[in-house]
Structure 1
Amino acid sequence: MAGLLLACAGAQAQAASRELYFVTQLFPPFITQSADGKLDGALVAILREACRRADWNCKVQAMVWKRALLTVSQGGADGLVLAQDAPERRAVMELSKPVLASSYGLYVKADSAMRYRQPADLAGKTLAVYGPSLSQINSERLSRAWPREPGRGAGPGNGAAQVGGGPLRP
């Protein structure tokens, strides 16, 4: 289970009186955007309620994820909405306690005979994950530990599960 967190660039958040600027990426259903450009979703609602209770005026802007991370790390934003805990993020941000819990599952076509019970069941399969993301990095790390066909090393065609990540497309 992955905890979804709000991250604040510590010094900037404390220095800002009651005006805070958060950045994020679109990540339905947690962060969505209406046709008129208004951000919504569970995490945006949680952030807005927290800001209301603290009597803060908080602005949230969606952007490309790498730009959001860079903006926070360079002090251009007070916080980041939707962050998985990672050492490189802790180096520049203070993470909240998880405000929402999410988990991942494996999905196959309804008519597939594949059944997952253990990592060995993924040998020779291709997995698609959302990326670039920590989910992709973690999946790639795990796939290196999955069983390979006897006598074959790591790499394509070795019988190991392959992981590919990219933006979700409709």
Structure 2
Amino acid sequence: MRISGWIVGAAAAAMLAVSGSYAWAQDATKIKIGTEGAYPPFNSITADGKLIGFDVDIANALCAQMKAECEFVTQDWDGIIPALQAGKFDAIVASMSITEERKKQVAFTNKYYVTPLAVAALKDSALTETDPASMAGKTVGAQASTTQSIYAEDFYAKAGADVKLYPTQEEAVQDLINGRLDAVISDKFVLVDWLKNAADGACCKLIGDVNGTETEAGIAVRLDDNALREKFNAAIDAIVADGTYKTIQAKYFDFDIY
């Protein structure tokens, strides 16, 4: 069977792109790390273009522990797993919850933090509960392709809520501030940080945790990259044991998230 030269050329180019990234991963001293850059306080980009946040600090600490040179690559959330699979980077450190569905696509390390989902609303909201029945007739926002969007669609929408999904957490929050949403569901720590530290956080309040939604965040690597996963696991254990993890955690939270 003949294959067109364009297809062969494209395939070869793709293989070269992937092999370049694999060369980094196979050289244990060089690792490319993908993150979103739009999920404060875990990962965000400052006005002058600097990548900051808990995920970034943890990744840097892990790289130092592994004595590896790490390069960060920012990637939109909805394409972050395909980009990993395509070889754009070697690991995802972006507050990705470990789920059974994602385990079919990527291999996860052990947890590096644990979070429940929570709901925020405007300060004058009459909402007092986060259960599905309380959301009937409400408009609820969430970031797309996340555990919170899955929960909102599986439970809130079926209970009669109008669920709206957004490319980023920041866009969902902005629509809440502007009165286009009754509530936003997200990781609790993201909402707590926004309400406490953001200039526009004074608009809103935390309604509470969503029962039964506690999940672990892990680092994702390609399914066959067991060696890199185990290097990360060993490094996670090491920074927890030597106190580095607690030092980083204290920059962002006044409570334990591990």
Give the TM-score taking structure 1 as reference length.
Answer: 0.74
CA positional deviation for 1:165: 1.3
Q: Gaps spanning 5+ residues in structure 2: where?
A: 1-21, 175-258
The 2-side partners of 1:19 and 1:60 are apart by 11
Q: Which runs of 4+ in 1 moved over 3 A?
A: none
Is 1:50 aligned with 2:62? Answer: yes
Deviations 1:50-73 (A, max 9, x none): 110110011111121233222101
SS in 2 for 1:49: helix
Percent of counterpart pairs with the same letter?
23
Letter in 2 for 1:68: I
Range that drifts further, 24-33 or 109-118: 109-118
The 2-side partners of 1:134 and 1:118 are apart by 16
Q: Gaps spanning 5+ residues in structure 1: where?
A: 1-11, 147-159
Matches within 5 A, 1:71-82: 71-82=83-94
CA gap 1:126/1:56 in 2 versus in 1, 3 angstroms: same
The 1-side partners of 2:115 and 2:129 are apart by 20
CA positional deviation for 1:138: 2.5
CA positional deviation for 1:127: 0.9
CA gap 1:120/1:89 in 2 versus in 1, 3 angstroms: closer
- Output the aligned Cα RMSD: 2.2
CA gap 1:128/1:67 in 2 versus in 1, 3 angstroms: closer
Matches within 5 A, 1:144-159: 144-146=157-159
Matches within 5 A, 1:30-69: 30-69=42-81
The aligned counterpart of 1:163 is 163
The aligned counterpart of 1:106 is 119
Aligned length: 146
The 2-side partners of 1:33 and 1:89 are apart by 26
CA positional deviation for 1:85: 1.6
The aligned counterpart of 1:142 is 155
CA gap 1:72/1:118 in 2 versus in 1, 3 angstroms: closer
CA positional deviation for 1:163: 1.0
Letter in 1 for 2:76: V
Letter in 1 for 2:164: G
Is 1:23 aligned with 2:34? Answer: yes
The 1-side partners of 2:101 and 2:130 are apart by 33
Structure with a larger share of its residues in helix: 2
The 2-side partners of 1:118 and 1:140 are apart by 13
- Residue of structure 2 aligned with 1:115, choices 128, 143, 146: 128
CA positional deviation for 1:103: 2.8
CA gap 1:77/1:32 in 2 versus in 1, 3 angstroms: same
CA gap 1:117/1:86 in 2 versus in 1, 3 angstroms: closer
The 2-side partners of 1:144 and 1:32 are apart by 29
Deviations 1:58-110 (A, max 9, x none): 11111212332221012231111121223343234221122123332222222
Deviations 1:28-67 (A, max 9, x none): 1100112332211001100100110110011111121233
Give the TM-score taking structure 2 as reference length.
Answer: 0.51
